[in-house]
Amino acid sequence: MRKILVVGIAETSLGRRAYEGRFAEALAGAGAEAVPSYQLLPSSDRLTKEEIDRVVRSEGFDGVIVTRLLGVEEKTTYVPPSSYVVPSYGYGYYGYYGRSYDVVNTPGYTKSTEIVRLESRLWNAADAKLAWGIVSETFDPKSDDDAMASVTKKLVQKLADDGLLAR
């Protein structure tokens, strides 16, 4: 596809703008013409089918890619305590023997991982049929911007690998 309308479903218009802008930039970097929907469609909580269809037809889009948040999960893992013997490199047999009693103990701890799960689907604009879809995950993003950059880069790479982007 050469010309793609990028639609992000977000809780806020600011979140929508940020995601769509980041994704359109990533697609453009791969040679596709991509337009964030916020540039052509009003900022509202929910766009109508007629609004989207009008823009798709009038602007000549080949495809529409829609991304939505499926969920954010906090996964906690327990790492049990461990013990190990310090390697022995002492002098002579007693150095080796004496160092064999040196043991290091590490306490158990919990580790939390945040998982952000998104679903993206690319629709053929000519017949409104699904052309491609994927569920992606990002682990422990430092920020929303970091998560968007990571996800959009990987999505564009996958779209290119799957032969869906015309150059």
CATH number of the CATH domain containing 134: 3.40.50.10610
- Give the pLDDT of residue 159: 94
- Give the pLDDT of residue 90: 61
φ/ψ of 100, rounded to 5, equals -65, -15
The mean per-residue pLDDT over the stretch 102-114 comes to 90
- Under DSSP, is residue 10 helix (H, G, I), strand (E, B) or coil? coil
On whether residue 90 sits in a domain, the answer given is no
Whole-number average pLDDT of the chain = 89
pLDDT above 90: percentage of residues in the chain: 60
Sign of CA dihedral 162, 120, 72, 12: positive
Whole domain around residue 14: which residue ranges? 3-80+116-161
Confidence of residue 88 (pLDDT cuts 50, 70, 90): low
The mean per-residue pLDDT over the stretch 36-59 comes to 88
CA nearest to 73, candidates 137, 147, 160, 15 = 137
- Give the pLDDT of residue 89: 65
On whether residue 97 sits in a domain, the answer given is no
The mean per-residue pLDDT over the stretch 37-44 comes to 86
On whether residue 61 sits in a domain, the answer given is yes
Whether the pLDDT of residue 102 is over 80: the answer is: no
Residue 143, amino acid: S
On whether residue 106 sits in a domain, the answer given is no
Mean pLDDT is lowest, of 72-86, 108-122, 135-149, for 135-149
pLDDT tens digits for range 90-101: 676 776 776 677
Q: Detail the DSSP E strand segments found in the chain.
A: 3-9, 33-36, 63-79, 82-85, 103-106, 109-124, 130-139
- Which CA distances in Å does 167 have to 1, 29, 57, 97? 8, 10, 21, 68
- Under DSSP, is residue 111 helix (H, G, I), strand (E, B) or coil? strand
On whether residue 95 sits in a domain, the answer given is no
The mean per-residue pLDDT over the stretch 31-42 comes to 92
On whether residue 100 sits in a domain, the answer given is no
Number of structural domains the chain divides into: 1
On whether residue 85 sits in a domain, the answer given is no
pTM: 0.78
On whether residue 103 sits in a domain, the answer given is no
- Give the pLDDT of residue 46: 81
φ/ψ of 64, rounded to 5, equals -130, 125
- Give the pLDDT of residue 27: 95
